[in-house]
Amino acid sequence: MVGIEGAGLSGLGAGGVLGAGARAQYAAMAQLRWNMFSHSLHSSKGALELGARTVANLLYAAMGVAIGLGAGAGSYLIASNNAWQYVPIVFWAMCFLWQMVPIMLASFQEQFDLGILLRFPVLFGSYFLLYVVSGLVDISTILGGLCSVGILVGVTMARPDLFGWTLLGLAVFAAFNILLVRAIFAWIDRWLAQRRTREILGAIFMVMILSLQLLNPALHQRRHAGRNGQPAQRESVKQQTEELKARYGPWLQAANQVQSWLPPGLAARALRQAAAGEQSGNGAVPALGSLSVLGMYTLAAGGALAARLKSEYRGENLGQAPSRKKVDKRDRGWLPNAAGPVAAVIEKELRSLLRTMPVLYALGMPVVMVFFFSAMFHNGTSRSLHPQLQIALPIGVAYALLGFTQLFYNNLGAEGAGIQLYFLSPTPIRSVMLAKNLFHSALFLFDALVAGFVVSFRIGVPNNQVIAATAAWLLFALPSNLAVGNIFSVTMPYRVNPGRMARQRGSQANALLSLLVQLGILGIGVAVFALCTFAQALWLAIPIFLALAAGAIVAWLRVLTNIDGMANQRRDSLMATLMKMG
């Protein structure tokens, strides 16, 4: 903020939002954001950490590019087939991404509050401009930009004559989205600053993800039945579809009319009108009309943003949520108050878990996914299982194991300053780790059992050898994970804010190595299963896994025996890492 303060108070107002003083403030702001960004890349864990983070960022970038390619491919198909009635879907999807993703991501991360600028002598115009410009580096704008480029390329490849109209329409639509998302943020950012609100939004986000994931297998099943099912089944699906059309057709038509007057519909309509006009030679006027209405929406979004920022600028705080009333009810414990530190840690872990939506989601998600995926292989009422589907049980159980990676490999991460208590109290760290391992194992076994039941119920019950071999593999996989997880938890911990889902700084090395260990354990399982199946002696997998399990249990006990020494040796860095601010 040196630039802001050093800009010279007398010159700040002169020249307006583009004057020398304002420009110095923009430069200071840019410097601040750059410093924050570059500090976020610094790592005390060295090259491995930086490498792991780079890999993760590349993956995110690839996901963004994939979304852009999807938008491009969709647009190309629509334009080349002259199927313009579907183009609103592309714009609505883009608008949804643009508006919802940042709000939902905000539930997992602290917001950079531009309100700090109001301490300084900043012009309102400059404040507005900074607020809008700072949004350009948000993930929403990047995603929206990639989608826009995809649409532009897709449409132009199919219809080069529409390049100008597509560019113009996308530009206005992008301006609308940028202003709208910033306006929404401006109104709810203080609300988001509250932990509980972030968690509620996080929960809504999870429900939405679950709903979307439910949609795919449901459609898949319906499509599968419609195309490949028995003739009677196909006829039934066709009949149901006709009934749905008859019942909801008028509603859909009305909804289509309404959406065509909303911003994504207007952008789509402009493109459609331009496409028709290029062919007939008189489409410019209607297309310009649609874009003008879209422009008015853009101005309205800008106005809403300006109104909110003006209030903030004057010192009002309209968006602040009222503080919650005090709760006078006494706590009524519902867990048995068992004595002893191991029971105390287990109870504390359970209570914390039940209050931590993102962790519950991470644990429950694999089971839900097993449920959805198993729908693709749903066997109807038949209880017989195809030989190739025998492996569904071990796959389902192994998938459930993945949800526990963070708990196993960073089991102290959520303690924060509470880690000090473990070193201050007369309880050995061994007891703390034992309690955590027992609790996490119980959770995992519950998850694995549910996954097993789901697979058996949806696909069919595998034979006894598969069940026994899967159980034997679990006896190997679980203590292996616990043993390595305890070591990683002490040697390369990272701080986890239990209210957030996003990983914290310093987590990538642990994440990468723990993934490698998990893959190793899964690989051993796959190799043994494959070899024994190939040799037509699946029973052999059981003693092999049991022998490996014996070794894993010994290793886990040895780690527990030595964990006090390891933890005490590293207590300084352990506490510094887990208590780190920000």
Partner 1 sequence: METAAIQTHGLTRRFGALTAVEDVTLSVAPGQFFGFLGPNGAGKSTTIKMLTGLLEPSAGTIEILGLPFGASALELKRQIGVVPEGMALMGRLTAPEYLRFVGRMYGLDGATTNRRTAELLEFMDLANESRKLVVDFSHGMQKKLAMAAAVIHGPKVLFLDEPFEGVDAIAAGMLKAMLTGMINRGATIFLTTHVLEIVERLCSHVAIISKGRLVANGSLEELRSGVASTLPGTEQEQRLTLEEIFLSIVGADGGHEPAQELTWLA
Task: Enumerate binding residues for partner 1 (CB under 8 A).
Answer: 195, 326-331, 333, 337-341, 343-345, 347-348, 351-352, 355-356, 414-428, 498-499, 568, 571-572, 575, 579
Output 187 or 423, the one with its CB closest to partner 1. Answer: 423
Within 8 A by CB and 6+ apart from 238, the residues are 226
Q: Which two tokens stand for residue 142?
A: 């990047």
Picking from 424, 530, 536, 432, the residue whose alpha carbon sits closest to that of residue 490 is 432
Q: How far apart are CA 298 and CA 179, in angstroms?
A: 7
Q: How far apart are CA 174 and CA 301, in angstroms?
A: 12
Please state the closest distance from residue 428 (CB atom) to partner 1, in A: 7
**Mind spelling out the 3-state secondary structure of 354-413?**
HCCHHHHHHHHHHHHHHHHHHHHCCCCCCCCCCHHHHHHHHHHHHHHHHCCHHHHHCCCC
Query: Which amino acid is it at 25?
Result: Q
Please state the closest distance from residue 120 (CB atom) to partner 1, in A: 18
How many helices (H) does the chain have, and how many strands (E)? 21, 0
Taking residue 523's Cβ as centre, other Cβ atoms within 10 Å add up to 11
Please state the closest distance from residue 343 (CB atom) to partner 1, in A: 7
Output 51 or 498, the one with its CB closest to partner 1. Answer: 498
Output 66 or 200, the one with its CB closest to partner 1. Answer: 200
Q: How far apart are CA 190 and CA 218, in angstroms?
A: 39
Report phi then psi at 123, rounded to 5: -65, 150
Please state the closest distance from residue 107 (CB atom) to partner 1, in A: 16
Output 280 or 337, the one with its CB closest to partner 1. Answer: 337
What is the three-class DSSP state of 112?
Answer: coil
Please state the closest distance from residue 299 (CB atom) to partner 1, in A: 41
Output 238 or 351, the one with its CB closest to partner 1. Answer: 351
Q: How far apart are CA 22 and CA 13, in angstroms?
A: 8
Output 328 or 387, the one with its CB closest to partner 1. Answer: 328
Please state the closest distance from residue 421 (CB atom) to partner 1, in A: 4
Half-sphere exposure in the Cβ direction for 540 (13 Å, CA): 11
Output 246 or 424, the one with its CB closest to partner 1. Answer: 424
Please state the closest distance from residue 563 (CB atom) to partner 1, in A: 15
What is the three-class DSSP state of 558?
Answer: helix
Output 229 or 416, the one with its CB closest to partner 1. Answer: 416
Q: How many residues does the chain have?
A: 582
> Are the C-beta atoms of 365 and 373 separated by less than 8 Å?
no
Output 11 or 543, the one with its CB closest to partner 1. Answer: 11
What is the three-class DSSP state of 462?
Answer: coil
Please state the closest distance from residue 306 (CB atom) to partner 1, in A: 34
> Are the C-beta atoms of 510 and 494 separated by less than 8 Å?
yes
Please state the closest distance from residue 85 (CB atom) to partner 1, in A: 51
Please state the closest distance from residue 507 (CB atom) to partner 1, in A: 19
Degrees to nearest 5, angle at CA 179 with 175 and 180: 115
Output 323 or 536, the one with its CB closest to partner 1. Answer: 323
Q: How far apart are CA 178 and CA 192, in angstroms?
A: 19
Output 145 or 428, the one with its CB closest to partner 1. Answer: 428
Please state the closest distance from residue 557 (CB atom) to partner 1, in A: 20
